[in-house]
């Protein structure tokens, strides 16, 4: 649903939401994001005189991967947004940590996902620094040496929104949480993007947000995760995700939440799968 801020920013009328413009509006391709692995097109969606910049990822532009079924990455983008929106709702938080993302049956290059574009600020919540000293307000992910033998450290801010994003990544089994996939817009809102590599049935969590690994879940986090699980099992969320994920992928997502609740703490890296995406940014 469009917020008041969205309405002011996009000129939305009371009867039109961001999602409606993305789903029903005419898409005009403005350019291509050349650094993306798959076809990622910057577009203008227009409906009833309202224009919204968006990122359109057609299925026909998806590069085949050995560990994800062909033609499913856009569906996973939409599913991740649906989970994030529900998680924000059950947590009593208005901030959805993924921009509005919908599925389009038609577009300039066929069906695919469509996500609201984010105008980013220069704020950085993840960084690599030439030091191994503790940074106040930041959490260390790993320590290493650069090509010249100097100590470096991958760090991220100790931010409540990032912590919730880290939980979402565990639930969705995000295999590609790079630093560059964490954005702060001009109004200071936090968003994560690029969720095509989520919901794999195997444990493939790869993220730069390991700062809370092993830390206990708060009572509020546990309560929100239980509500999220219930929405997946018997609520509207499960119904919506069924259009984008296979039944066994939904079942594994529920099991993942239940495992998280049973352990009572953030998961920790294992040796079964690389824990940091490459490149990290």
pLDDT in tens, 79-115: 999 999 999 999 998 899 999 999 999 999 999 999 9
| Helix 73-90 and helix 160-172, axial crossing angle in degrees, nearest 10 | 130
* pLDDT score of 174: 98
Q: Which residue has the tokens 């609740």?
A: 261
Q: Label residue 15 by pLDDT band (50, 70, 90).
A: low
Pairwise CA distance, residues 214 & 58, whole Å: 38
**Domain assignment of residue 195, yes or no:** no
The answer for residues whose C-beta is within 8 angstroms of residue 85's C-beta and 6 or more apart is: 96, 98
Rounded CA-CA distance 62/273 in Å is 23
What tens digit of pLDDT does each residue of 183-199 get? 999 999 999 999 999 99
Q: Which of 139, 78, 102, 87 is nearest to 25 (CA)?
A: 102
User: What is the total count of domains within the chain?
Assistant: 1
- Tell which residue, 124, 119, 118, has the closest CA to residue 100: 118
Q: How high does pLDDT run on average in the chain?
A: 92
Span 146-174, mean pLDDT? 94
Q: Output the pTM of the full model.
A: 0.92
Q: 192 lies in a domain? A: no
Is the pLDDT at 227 greater than 60? The verdict is yes
**235 by DSSP, 3-state: which?**
coil
Give me the domain span that covers residue 47.
1-117
Kindly state whether residue 270 falls inside one of the protein's structural domains. no
Looking at residue 63, its pLDDT comes to 93
CA distance 111 to 108: 9
């Amino acid at each position: 649903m469009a917020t008041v801020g969205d309405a002011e920013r996009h000129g939305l009328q009371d009867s039109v939401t961001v999602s409606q413009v993305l789903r029903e509006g005419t898409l005009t391709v403005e350019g291509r994001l050349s650094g993306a692995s798959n076809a990622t097109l910057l577009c203008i969606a227009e409906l009833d005189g309202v224009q919204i910049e968006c990122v359109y990822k057609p299925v026909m532009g998806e590069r085949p991967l050995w560990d994800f079924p062909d033609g499913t990455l856009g569906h996973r983008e939409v599913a991740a947004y649906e989970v994030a929106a529900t998680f924000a709702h059950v947590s009593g938080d208005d901030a959805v940590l993924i921009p509005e993302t919908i599925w389009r049956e038609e577009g300039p290059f066929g069906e695919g996902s469509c996500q609201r574009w984010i105008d980013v600020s220069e704020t950085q919540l993840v960084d690599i620094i030439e030091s191994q000293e503790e940074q106040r307000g930041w959490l260390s992910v790993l320590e290493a040496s650069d090509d010249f033998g100097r100590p470096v450290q991958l760090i991220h801010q100790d931010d409540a929104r990032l912590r919730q994003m880290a939980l979402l990544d565990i639930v969705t089994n995000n295999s590609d949480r790079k630093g560059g996939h964490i954005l702060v817009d001009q109004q200071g809102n936090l968003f994560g993007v690029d969720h095509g590599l989520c919901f794999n049935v195997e444990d493939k969590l790869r993220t730069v947000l390991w700062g809370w690994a092993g830390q206990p879940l708060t009572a509020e986090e546990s309560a929100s995760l239980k509500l999220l699980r219930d929405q997946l099992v018997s609520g509207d969320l499960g119904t919506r995700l069924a259009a984008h994920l296979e039944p066994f992928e939904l079942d594994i997502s529920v099991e993942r939440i239940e495992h998280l609740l049973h352990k009572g703490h953030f998961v920790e890296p294992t040796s079964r799968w690389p824990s940091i995406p490459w490149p990290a940014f």
